[in-house]
Amino acid sequence: MREHDGRSLPAGVLVEDVLAIQLDVGHGAKGNRKTPPGQGFSWRWVDVPLRRWVNELRRSLDPSPGESPHCDQQIPERRRVALSAHIVYCQCDMDSSGAELSPPSHALTARERALEAALAAEKARASAGLMLASALSQSLTPEKIVSVMLHYVTPLLHAPVASAFLLATGADALERVERRDKEAPGVASSTFLPLSAPLPECEVVRTGKAVWIESLDDMAERFPVLCARARRTGRHAFVCLPLAVEGRAYGVISFELAGARAFPASEQAFLLGLAQQCAQALDRARLEAAEQRLRLALDAGAIGIWDLDLSAGQVEADARCRAVMGLPAAGEVDRDGFFGQVHSDDAERVLAAVRRALEPASGGALLEELRVDEGQPEPRWVALRGQVTFDAEGAPTRLVGGAADITERIRAEQERARRLSKLGHDLRNPLSPMLTALQLMRMRAPDVLVKERTILERQVAHLSCLVDELLDVSRTTLGKVERPRKPCETAVVAGPPQVAAPERRRILLVDDNRDAAEMLAEGLRVFGYEVTVAHDGPSSLSIANEAAPDLALLDIGLPGMDGYELARRLQDIPGLSEVLLVALTGYGQKGARARSTEAGFRAHLVKPVELSRMVTLLETLGLPPASPPQP
């Protein structure tokens, strides 16, 4: 037996026969032979081609007095290491006689056993870290992520109790989603901790820093509320790790350990690193969940995404956006190509809205409804929404938004508007003859039933206002609010005042509501007008050929041939090209009035119309009454 540094080597064992030794290995600089053993090194098993280094190893085993047992000479440059001659284990194939050899039972010193234990712990940590990283690389729920963390870390700390907490959604509290207790494995895990509670888990969330409790005295000083339980269970050490990324807290992992226990800086750094991996996995899970919700929302709303780089002038658009905007399925799209898809009637308005959004004072929001597919029989309607981002100087950099096909919605709204317009027309029709009849009663018998007549006139006016409010609510719902107007507002849409010959008092009145037509005709006759009545388009054309009216009062909502078509045909009759046209209708929307202007109407009256206002308008158009009304 040969002795070295308290070690015994079996007799007959040659250094050349050693297959592996445990060495203090360090990657020092060339010629660095004074690095103290155990500083800057890691302990591990190293397979060494000892036959090549036999001379250096012999010298390290038998150093001269006072010589440091290091050697790094005659070792290839690419494998230069510093060797510390603390041999803790030798494996030998056989002795010189061929018999197998084993190290003696007293081969390991206390220091060597501690080093072996440290090496085993380091290997366990490295293995747990690798397996945890592999597990967290998958797509997991937050509950599964913290469960994986407990699974790999709890055995490393030999913790009898481990818990995982997640920040409760919409609550100022922590929710314990899992608890591992060796003594009570069946205990329910769910519980809530208010963040204001004097507990280490809550302090970690409040401060963002880990809590390390190494003894009962440490616990009594920092968290006395836990001391009674710690004395009862014997768990005096406590670790609480934050799960947070860039200040965003996700939860806490805590471990209760038996007895008192120190936490070296290297172990703290290792555990904090694992907690950071877990927190990053939670952050990814949050982003994945948010992206999934966004994708579901986009799919549900059939919304395509577009991104305009304002500096490059290029637009990135996904497949749905390209389809909605009528863009090519592939290829680059620039700014002009993107907005060039907008219908020409909407282009100026949309581009003006984009320019406003690019101004920092506007907030950068874009919201427009427009048409695309110009030239198609039915253009497609698109809702274009976007938000501008600005740099530190306030200059716009990007415009990102969504595009959704709203054609069906627009068509439904248009149909709804049409029906409500028709309803308003139908509701106003009976009001018109009622109001005219009351006015005739007042002219013919001003002193008879005054109170009753006044009440009826007031209620007719009230009903007319209710119809207007109903239609205004409809227009508000459709986003087409118009200015307030009186129920019987007169809209003169074209033409200067007329100066007419006395004989110009012939009027053609066309209304499919017989009561309304007859009452208004009788009222106008009281003022000396010659009134001919018709109830539809074809019969009114025949009457017009014979009567040659100076003015035609036309209801717009006639059956079959509407008032706009009737107006065009009346003007085509020889001698009637200059006939004055006045719309008398229940349709009071802006679109209806615009169409009246296009059709050549001089005025657009909304039923019911007071008789006196009607006469005033006729006088303005050059048809004064022949005489004041006679009772």
Give the CATH number of the domain where residue 564 resides: 3.40.50.2300
pLDDT tens digits for 340-386?
999 999 999 999 999 999 999 999 999 999 999 767 778 889 999 99
Distance, C-alpha 486 to centroid of its chain: 44
Domain end marker among 404, 430, 454: 404
pLDDT: is 387 or 88 the higher one?
Answer: 387
The b/e string for 573-587 (b: 16+ C-beta within 10 A; e otherwise) is eeebeebbbbbbbbb
Residues 156 and 257 in one domain: yes
Task: Judge if 145 and 257 occupy the same domain.
Answer: yes
Whether residue 552 is predicted with pLDDT greater than 90 in this model: the reply is yes
- Note the pLDDT of residue 190: 61
Residue 37, sorted as left (phi over 0), alpha (psi -120 to 50) or beta, turns out to be beta
296 domain-assigned: no
Flag whether 121 is in a domain.
no
To the nearest whole number, what is the mean pLDDT of the chain?
78
- Partners of 88 in the β-ladder: none
The CA distance from 434 to 452, in Å, is 14
| Residue 226: alpha-carbon gap to chain centroid | 43
More confident of the two residues 598 and 66: 598
Rg of the chain on CA atoms, in Å: 47
Establish if 59 belongs to a structural domain. yes
pTM of the model: 0.47
CB 127 within 8 A of CB 270: no
Beta carbons of 166 and 192 less than 8 angstroms apart: no
- Tokens 């060494």 locate to 48
Over the stretch 379-388, which tens digit does the pLDDT of each residue have?
889 999 999 9
Dist CA 179 CA 188 (whole Å): 8
**In DSSP terms, which residues pair with 403 in a beta bridge?**
304, 384
Distances (CA, A) of 103 to 88, 489, 505, 518: 10, 115, 135, 128
Strand, helix or coil at 18? strand
Q: Residue 499: its pLDDT value, please? A: 45
Chain Cα centroid distance, residue 490: 48
pLDDT at 26 over 60: no
Orientation of helix 265-301 relative to helix 142-157, angle to 10°: 170
Residues 92 and 180 in one domain: no
Domain count, the chain: 4
Q: Are residues 416 and 393 in the same domain?
A: no
Domain co-membership, 398 together with 412: no
- Secondary element (H or E) of residue 125: helix 110-136
pLDDT at 30 over 90: no
The region of weakest confidence among 144-158, 197-211, 223-237, 453-467 is 453-467
Which band of pLDDT confidence, cut at 50, 70 and 90, is reported for residue 333?
A: very high
Residue 242, domain CATH: 3.30.450.40
Q: Which two tokens stand for residue 286?
A: 């949050």
Query: How deeply is 528 buried, as exposed, middle or buried, from its count of CB atoms within 10 A (0-12, 13-18, 19+)?
Result: middle
Q: What are the helix and strand counts (H, E) for the chain?
A: 17, 23
Judged by average pLDDT, the poorest of 126-130, 217-221, 417-421, 596-600 is 417-421
> Phi-psi category of 420—alpha, beta or left, where left has phi over 0 and alpha has psi -120 to 50?
alpha
Say if residues 192 and 282 touch (Cβ distance below 8 Å): no
pLDDT number for residue 171:
67
CA distance 95 to 536: 127
Higher model confidence: residue 161 or residue 44? 161
Asked which of 404, 429, 453 is the last residue of a domain, the reply is 404
Residue type present at position 58: R
424 and 498 part of one domain: yes
Q: Which amino acid is at 128?
A: A
Q: Looking at the domain assignment, is residue 242 inside a domain?
A: yes
| Rounded mean pLDDT, 595-607 | 90
Average pLDDT over residues 474-485: 51
197 forms bridges with which residues in the sheet?
none
What pLDDT score was predicted for residue 98?
A: 43
312 vs 31, more confident: 312
Closest C-alpha among 466, 511, 461 to residue 488: 461
* Stronger pLDDT, 492 or 410, i.e. the higher one: 410
Residue type, 68: S
Of 284 and 65, the structure prediction assigns the larger pLDDT to: 284
The structure tokens 């690095």 sit at 35
**Alpha helix positions (H), 486-584:** 514-526, 537-547, 563-572
Rounded to 10 deg, the angle between the 265-301 and 110-136 helix axes is 10
Report the distance separating Cα 290 and Cα 288, nearest Å. 5
Residue 113 placed within a domain: no
Cα 37 off chain centre by? 59
For residue 585, tell me if it sits in a domain: yes
Quote the crossing angle between the two packed helices 407-444 and 611-620, to the nearest 10°: 100
pLDDT of residue 102: 45
Residue type, 117: A
Same-domain status, 218 and 312: no
The answer on 36 and 78 residing in a single domain is yes
The distance of Cα 92 from the centroid of its chain, to the nearest Å, equals 68
Residue type, 244: A
**Residue 117 lies inside a defined structural domain of this protein:** no
CATH code at 368? 3.30.450.20
Predicted local distance difference test score (pLDDT) of residue 449? 79
Shared domain check, 574 and 438:
yes
Q: In terms of C-beta distances under 8 Å and separation of at least 24 residues, what long-range contacts does 417-420 make, across chains too?
A: 417/474, 417/475, 417/478, 417/480, 417/589, 420/470, 420/471, 420/474
Tell the residue number behind the tokens 């009216």, with chain if given: 549
Bridging pattern class, strands 603-606 and 580-585: parallel
pLDDT at 213: 95
Highest mean pLDDT of the ranges 45-54, 319-328, 413-422:
319-328
Residue 196 lies in a domain: yes
Residues 87 and 231 in one domain: no
Domain of residue 324 covers: 306-404
More confident residue, 568 or 97: 568
Whether 482 shows a pLDDT value over 60: the answer reads no
pLDDT at 9 exceeding the cut of 70 = no
42 and 153 in a single domain? The answer is no
Judge if 229 and 332 occupy the same domain: no
Q: 578 with 589: CB under 8 angstroms?
A: no
